Chain A
Amino acid sequence: SQKIEQNSEALNIQEGKTATLTCNYTNYSPAYLQWYRQDPGRGPVFLLLIRENEKEKRKERLKVTFDTTLKQSLFHITASQPADSATYLCAQSYSSASKIIFGSGTRLSIRP
């Protein structure tokens, strides 16, 4: 079955640096990869979606890449701030199905 994995459970970086989170999928490429932010005690909030035929997507300080050769998506936060501290989830979906399947998440901590 298709799996999506976020290898790092936690990531700690210094304020102002770029945070890079990794999401890997198995077998065939999903049509879409999505990234969400989740704060403690709250539901996830959608951030960005990237399609299989797109290499890169940007939104303000956020950037997502999709590499079908490496079967990987990278999520970058530039000029990171303590307010960016949260758990970030990646998710995959396919054009022929409606399901969205999530990875286990990476807890990001930005220290001042």
Chain B
Amino acid sequence: NAGVTQTPKFQVLKTGQSMTLQCAQDMNHEYMSWYRQDPGMGLRLIHYSVGAGITDQGEVPNGYNVSRSTTEDFPLRLLSAAPSQTSVYFCASRIGDPTDTQYFGPGTRLTVL
């Protein structure tokens, strides 16, 4: 198993540009989530999904969209990038229950100029 994969690893955007961060898992996990990590602020939950076709907002959803058309993929879309979205983004997945082990991807480092 490849586990949780994220692409790209690094990205530089200009203010106002749009892009999609990709996340995929091959473990047949129902639950997937996106976090952003900023210095001194730990991981903050952006959006999560409990299964294909179901998504919900986390702590900091503004400026981000998600969809879950398949169990494997959970892309994160930035419609109009802002400098405040400069961060490291992590995708995570688990089978379903909150007690299941959560696996994280390697992260995407995004810089918005």
**Which residues of A are at the interface with B, using a C-beta cutoff of 8 A?**
6, 9, 31-32, 34, 41-46, 49, 51, 89, 91, 93-95, 97-105
Q: Are B98 and A32 in contact (CB under 8 A)?
A: yes
B contact residues around A105 at 8 Å (CB): 42
B contact residues around A94 at 8 Å (CB): 98
The 10 closest A-B pairs by CB, nearest first: A43-B104, A104-B42, A102-B43, A93-B98, A102-B42, A46-B101, A44-B104, A105-B42, A43-B90, A98-B50
> Using a CB-CB cutoff of 8 Å, which residues 20-46 of chain B contact chain A?
31, 33, 35, 40-45
- Given A32-B98, A44-B90, A49-B99, answer yes or no on A100-B42 (Cβ-Cβ < 8 Å): no
Q: When the two chains form the complex, which single residue of A34, A98, A103 contacts B42, counting CB atoms closer than 8 Å?
A: A103
- Given A43-B107, A98-B48, A100-B33, answer yes or no on A32-B41 (Cβ-Cβ < 8 Å): no
Complex CA–CA separation, A49 to B28 (angstroms): 22
Indicate the size class of the contact surface on chain B. 20 to 34
Chain B facing A: main interface SS: strand
